[in-house]
Amino acid sequence: MTTLPRISLSGTNYQIGYNHGSSLKIQIAGQLESYYEMFQNSSKLDREGVHRRAREYETTILKLVPHLHEEIVGIAEGAGVDVLDIIALNVRSEIVLGEFQDGCTSIGWKVRDENGKSIQYLAQNWDWVRPVQQNLAFVEIKQEGKPTIKMITEAGIVGKIGYNSASVAVLLNALRASPTDATKLPIHILLRLCLESKSASEALSQIEEYGAASAQHILLGDMSGAQCLELSPIKNHYISPNDDNFLAHTNHSIENTAIKEPSEFPGSRERLARTYEIVKTINPKTLSPQRLRETIFNDGENGGFSICALENACNPKWIRIMTLFNIVICLKEGCEPTAEVVLSNDSTDWIDPKNVLHL
């Protein structure tokens, strides 16, 4: 069974960063190699050009969230790389906005178990390029006065997909839209702030205070429920669940009219519609992480634009998008939050229970 590095970090933000960088030094080097190749081939940006853009966001990160800038400096020093390399990893979504076609499908569904207790599920397939999978890691972060974070992230990135001990959870979908605003916070920094929050409402207030540097989607939830956050430097818009306490998002703006997408994101609308079709066939009383994997997240309808995406070997390697992992986060009334992760392995049995990893 394929697995991932697992690291636990604590101390000052610099110490957290330094131990992150030194523990994942090989993976960070791999990430930088992959991303600089993508930046060059997709956006015609060499390392110097990437650093120019990263420097704009570094100023904002240092000003608005200096503790995370300190952590980024620690990662760079622990990994033995330039701090602008680590900034670039954390702002890669803003640097080349609209150039990549990473497609993800996220859902939130609140149900009751057989004892009448509430369960809030947040789950997604995360689709990206194959080389990144070997540079993912399970990261636990303990900070004084803040909830403990558990996330699956790309090496070198301070915030991504996961949950915390206060039962706040986040998922991520990329949107292709303009403009960007380097005076606001990059999406991966906002994800980290959400994971440092003690409630979804506190996380939302942080997003409102600092603003999003680019148009992106976060599915945010806690035991009170979940919302789709369609973020933009111009205006944010929030989508609540339907009457069945279900909501889903893919890679286009559903309701935020301030988000102007230069072109249709291939397959995004089809995946979203397919999600709602499948949900109609599921009895909420039978819901479980495995049930979600077997139904929604293993779906192969719509060919190359399916929810479970297969790699197209005909494409250049830096745009061969495929499902790299599935995560199902379970927030249950009266229980500690949990999450199951399954890594894609190009076979039809990738969702077999024996392949489940616990975040």
- 337 and 228 fall within a common domain: yes
Q: Could you tell me if residue 255 is inside a domain?
A: yes
CATH code of 85's domain: 1.10.10
- 219 and 114 fall within a common domain: yes
Q: Could you tell me if residue 293 is inside a domain?
A: yes
Boundary (domain end) residue, out of 43, 70, 95: 95
Number of domains making up the chain: 2
State the Cα–Cα distance between residues 274 and 299, nearest whole angstrom: 9
- 191 and 173 fall within a common domain: yes
- 21 and 125 fall within a common domain: no
| The token pair that represents 226 in the structure block | 């979940």
What pLDDT sits at residue 300?
83
For every residue of 15-77, DSSP letters joined together read HHHHHHHHHTHHHHHHHHHHHHHHHHHHH---HHHHHHHHHHHHHHHHHH-HHHHHHHHHHHH
Phi, psi torsion values for 24, nearest 5 degrees = -115, 30
- 23 and 49 fall within a common domain: yes
User: Comparing C-alpha atoms, which of 27, 17, 19 is closest to residue 137?
Assistant: 27
| Segments of 130-283 assigned E as strands | 136-142, 149-154, 161-164, 169-174, 216-222, 225-231, 237-239, 246-249
What pLDDT sits at residue 356?
92
- 283 and 338 fall within a common domain: yes
Which mean pLDDT values do the consecutive 10-residue runs of the chain (359 residues) have? 89 98 97 89 84 95 98 98 97 73 85 89 92 93 97 98 98 85 96 98 97 95 96 96 95 89 80 95 92 92 82 64 92 94 78 89
State the Cα–Cα distance between residues 272 and 198, nearest whole angstrom: 30
Q: Letter for the amino acid at 284?
A: P
State the Cα–Cα distance between residues 113 and 350, nearest whole angstrom: 27
Q: Could you tell me if residue 36 is inside a domain?
A: yes
- 203 and 311 fall within a common domain: yes
CATH code of 229's domain: 3.60.60.10
- 74 and 111 fall within a common domain: no
State the Cα–Cα distance between residues 143 and 196, nearest whole angstrom: 9
What pLDDT sits at residue 349?
72
Q: Could you tell me if residue 17 is inside a domain?
A: yes
Q: Could you tell me if residue 202 is inside a domain?
A: yes
What pLDDT sits at residue 305?
80
State the Cα–Cα distance between residues 170 and 160, nearest whole angstrom: 8
- 238 and 149 fall within a common domain: yes
Q: Could you tell me if residue 122 is inside a domain?
A: yes
What pLDDT sits at residue 61?
98
User: Comparing C-alpha atoms, which of 287, 271, 353, 286 is closest to residue 104?
Assistant: 271
Residues in the chain: 359
What pLDDT sits at residue 140?
98
Q: Which domain holds residue 63?
A: 6-95
- 147 and 247 fall within a common domain: yes
* pTM more than 0.75: yes
Boundary (domain end) residue, out of 66, 95, 124: 95
Q: Which tens digits make up the pLDDT trace of 290-331? A: 999 999 999 988 877 889 887 666 666 656 778 899 999 999
What pLDDT sits at residue 334?
87
Q: Could you tell me if residue 215 is inside a domain?
A: yes
What pLDDT sits at residue 43?
72
State the Cα–Cα distance between residues 319 and 153, nearest whole angstrom: 20
Q: Could you tell me if residue 309 is inside a domain?
A: yes
- 49 and 121 fall within a common domain: no
Boundary (domain end) residue, out of 95, 121, 140: 95
Tell me 351's DSSP state: T
| Those residues with Cβ within 8 angstroms of residue 99's Cβ, 6 or more apart along the chain or in another chain | 42, 43
Q: Which tens digits make up the pLDDT trace of 35-81? A: 898 888 777 888 999 999 999 999 999 999 999 999 999 999 999 99
For every residue of 139-175, DSSP letters joined together read EEEE-TTSPPEEEEEETT-S--EEEETTS-EEEEEE-
- 166 and 51 fall within a common domain: no
What pLDDT sits at residue 67?
98
